Amino acid sequence: MEVWTISKILDWTTDYFKKYDIEWPHLEAEILLAHALNCKRIELYTKYEKNLSAAELDKFKQMIKRRSQHEPIAYITGYKSFMSLEFYVNRSVLIPRPETEELVETIISLIKTNSNLTTIADIGTGSGVIAITLAKYLKDINVIAIDSSTEALQVAQKNSQTHQVDQRCQLVNGHLLEPLQEKVDLIVSNPPYIPSSVIEELPNDVKDWEPKQALDGGPNGLDYIRNLIENAPAYLKPGGFLFLEIGYDQGEKVSGITAACNKYQSFEILKDSNNHDRVLKAQT
């Protein structure tokens, strides 16, 4: 039987991933192997000559096969880091992105200087990263996290319990703002905002694996954004805030929708770290 050391299997996997156009072949090989061996990536470097057991090798080979089919690493390992917290994810939910971290950081900064903002609604919560991260880092807030997918809410519930915020994070099944029974101080959403025609142009990792309903924003990508902009004021307390993540090229159109709505005293489009339009911040 052929002996496979950590060093040897990493080299082999890196070459194998290159054939399948995996963007970061060596890095991803390390991430998956560390997960298979239940160790940290850095520990691999001290164990380069360690022989893999048959069970370890079999587990890793299954992961290699899945990744070669462009299944996202987060679905293979079952988790994704978000603002230094680890979140369980599966194919029922969108994989958290760095851009959404910037959205959450902006809200945290706002609330830390406005202690009267205590009730938040997260619309289309998915895995719960926005709602749960806000509840984790802001101890005096309560969040209502809404999603139309019961499968997504099961993921969010698991994450809410893991991070011990389930007492302050209420999970509700329903469509957009409809389940809200009382007005809140702040509404946040990372809604589907990709135009329907663009979905098929997305990388295989995204279009073939992530839930389409979490991506598809309608013909021009603005269906959910427009709905939330026009209807959020009815669910916000006076002076309340709406925060929406938007596409990098949607700033001008979103500004137009918000202005035409004529229900906000002020609004602005915030840039992300790549200087792209990324967040609508509006105040009633």
Does residue 251 fall inside a structural domain? yes
Q: Average of pLDDT values for 259-268?
A: 97
- If asked whether residues 160 and 61 sit together in one domain, one would say no
Contact 243, 111 (CB under 8 A): no
pTM of the model: 0.93
- If asked whether residues 59 and 103 sit together in one domain, one would say no
The residue written with tokens 């509006």 in the block is 282
Mean pLDDT of the chain: 96
- pLDDT at position 241: 99
Containing structural domain, residue 121: 91-283
Q: Average of pLDDT values for 267-272?
A: 97
- If asked whether residues 148 and 230 sit together in one domain, one would say yes
Does residue 133 fall inside a structural domain? yes
- If asked whether residues 138 and 269 sit together in one domain, one would say yes
282 has pLDDT over 90: yes
- If asked whether residues 130 and 25 sit together in one domain, one would say no
65 has pLDDT over 80: yes
Q: What percent of the chain has pLDDT above 90?
A: 98
- If asked whether residues 53 and 176 sit together in one domain, one would say no
Closest CA to 105 of 82, 125, 87: 82
Q: What percent of the chain has pLDDT above 70?
A: 100
Rounded Cα distance between 9 and 51, Å, is: 10
Does residue 85 fall inside a structural domain? no
- If asked whether residues 46 and 122 sit together in one domain, one would say no
pLDDT digits (tens, 9 = 90+) for 26-38: 999 999 999 999 9
The CATH number of the domain holding residue 232 is 3.40.50.150
Does residue 75 fall inside a structural domain? no
Categorize the per-residue pLDDT at 51 as very low, low, confident or very high, splitting at 50, 70 and 90: very high
Does residue 34 fall inside a structural domain? yes
**DSSP assignment of 113-177, as one string?**
T-TT--EEEEES-TTSHHHHHHHHH-TT-EEEEEES-HHHHHHHHHHHHHTT-TTTEEEEESSTT
- If asked whether residues 46 and 153 sit together in one domain, one would say no
Question: Could you tell me which residues come within 8 angstroms of residue 117 by beta carbon, excluding any fewer than 6 positions away?
Answer: 110, 111, 141, 185, 186, 241
Closest CA to 221 of 203, 243, 204, 245: 245
pLDDT digits (tens, 9 = 90+) for 89-115: 999 999 999 999 999 999 999 999 999
- pLDDT at position 2: 80
- If asked whether residues 54 and 141 sit together in one domain, one would say no
- pLDDT at position 222: 98
- If asked whether residues 265 and 210 sit together in one domain, one would say yes
pLDDT digits (tens, 9 = 90+) for 122-133: 999 999 999 999
Categorize the per-residue pLDDT at 1 as very low, low, confident or very high, splitting at 50, 70 and 90: low
Categorize the per-residue pLDDT at 3 as very low, low, confident or very high, splitting at 50, 70 and 90: confident
Does residue 221 fall inside a structural domain? yes
> Domains in the chain: how many in total?
2
- If asked whether residues 65 and 96 sit together in one domain, one would say no
- If asked whether residues 268 and 149 sit together in one domain, one would say yes
pLDDT digits (tens, 9 = 90+) for 199-245: 999 999 999 999 999 999 999 999 999 999 999 999 999 999 999 99
Does residue 1 fall inside a structural domain? no
Does residue 170 fall inside a structural domain? yes
